[in-house]
Amino acid sequence: MICVAGLGVSGTAAARAMAARGEKVVVIEGKESERARAAAAELAEAGVEVRFGAPAGLPDGTRLVVTTGWPPHHPLLLAAAEDGIEVVSEVELAWRLRPEGAAPWLALTGTNGKTTVVRMLTSMLTAAGHRALAVGNVGTPVVEAVTGPWDVLAVELSSFQLHRSPSLAPHAAALLNVAPDHLDWHGSLEEYARAKGEIFARAGTIVHNADDEWPVRLAGPYGEHGRVVGFTLDVPRPGQIGVVDDLLVDRAFVADPVRNAEELASFADVRPFAPHNVANALAAAALARSYGVPAEAVRRGLLDFVPDPHRIAHVARVGEVDYVDDSKATNPHAAAASLAAYPSIVWVAGGQLKGADVDDLVRRAAPRLRGAVLLGVDRERIRQALARHAENVPVVEVPGQDTGVMDRVVTEAARLAAPGDTVLLAPAGASLDMYAGYPARGEAFARAVHRLVTRHDGGRE
């Protein structure tokens, strides 16, 4: 008996995969919804039983539990541990189900930037002529992809997935950054970072952010056991990929890293341009180069890359003021990267901080802030941080959760902005206090900006 914990996309895929192999499968799902009932009906046709509600215990005869993000302290997983039953992630299951000669994995994780990097990487691999697919936390479950006709898989992994993946051994693995997130799940920053660092344990090539303390620390022990490659926004040393003037340069995957370097791309090839997006491009390039992708395919991959929505996306220019949607900046680390990309900002922030501290974010951003407009459940905590570290910055709070909130936010931001400023939605918090998700928040912002365009000078920007 295989017990699958969770009826999300990856749980459904895991259940279907095991049923196709003749296993008896029971899926446990705590929340019943229309989508979940539809998924259960489809699985029933494959012989999979779905049980809704809080589980009384493990199904009789369970020999393996596949979890899709349930926290370690969940009673079902604790019961499995007490009974000596192995618990693995859907990613670990996929690794074990790979057929002989299956596509190698280029895996990556980090607090921020994962989806951008995995899509850049896939674009580079495709430009080099490889049949490549982005999988994992980005969308397509890995368990569905491992039997497909792919040359190589670009695998985005969360800390939840890595926590239960004890045999994963990718061709190369990258850690982009580590900042406080999901601490309620892991219990501490140290445990969260440790889970992220698990991606290195059995990797052939280890790629780490040489400008970030935690990746450097976590990659350190592997320096004597295989190829360790750093990426940096500084001039690269031998064994690194980095930046020289406005060029992305490789001093790791060249014949003589001490004496030689190879140009991979330029800043003009990185879109949208921002320092943290250059770092994303460097990480993707390092993984691609580990798989033998030539320099010209790295550049072509960056040029072909289409950014996902709500990631430093330019919405409009109104009266010499730019409006930018980075609703995906759902934690302080992501917001800090976004704020660092612009010299003079009216900051639109707020939402669910999930216990994260914003003092360091505000302290660093203060010289760039012309004003701030705050919304959402934790806006008062951001206002207090601004009072402590940016006391001369004008702040407007916009209360409420009605559909007109974002219009009022954009109107206030426009009032604070001067020619040359950027009105930047980089909330530093999650969105579920007001919206269905960060995309809905970004779309509300964009709609409000377009209404501002219509009002401005009779609709002329």
109 is in an annotated binding site: no
Do the Cβ atoms of 28 and 80 come closer than 8 Å?
Answer: no
> Looking at residue 460, what is its pLDDT?
46
Average pLDDT over residues 91-100: 96
pLDDT of 132 higher than 60:
yes
- Domains of the chain and any CATH numbers: 2-84 (3.50.50.60), 94-304 (3.40.1190.10), 313-459 (3.90.190.20)
Residue-wise pLDDT tens digits, 31-79: 899 999 999 999 999 999 999 998 888 999 999 999 988 998 899 999 9
116 is in an annotated binding site: yes
Do the Cβ atoms of 431 and 437 come closer than 8 Å?
Answer: yes
Q: Residue 144: which residues within 8 A CB-CB, separation 6 or more?
A: 13, 17, 135
> Looking at residue 225, what is its pLDDT?
63
Percent of the chain with pLDDT strictly greater than 90: 88
Residue-wise pLDDT tens digits, 251-272: 999 999 999 999 999 999 999 9
pLDDT of 228 higher than 70:
yes
Helix, strand, coil shares of the chain, percent, nearest 5, are 40, 20, 40
> Looking at residue 356, what is its pLDDT?
87
Q: What is the DSSP letter of 329?
A: -
Q: Which amino acid, one-letter code, is at 372?
A: A
pLDDT of 185 higher than 70:
yes
Residue appearing with tokens 């490889």: 130
- Kind and range of the H or E element at 275? helix 275-290
Residue-wise pLDDT tens digits, 373-387: 999 999 999 999 999
Q: What does pLDDT average to over the chain?
A: 94
pLDDT of 139 higher than 80:
no
Residue of higher predicted confidence among 129 and 69: 129
Task: Count, in order, helices (H) and strands (E) of the chain.
Answer: 17, 20
Which is it for the CA torsion 380, 384, 390, 391, positive or negative?
Answer: positive
What is the C-alpha separation between 228 and 172, in angstroms, rounded? 10
> Looking at residue 187, what is its pLDDT?
77
112 is in an annotated binding site: yes
Q: Residue 78: which residues within 8 A CB-CB, separation 6 or more?
A: none
114 is in an annotated binding site: yes
DSSP string, 396-414: EE----STTHHHHHHHHHH
Average pLDDT over residues 169-184: 89
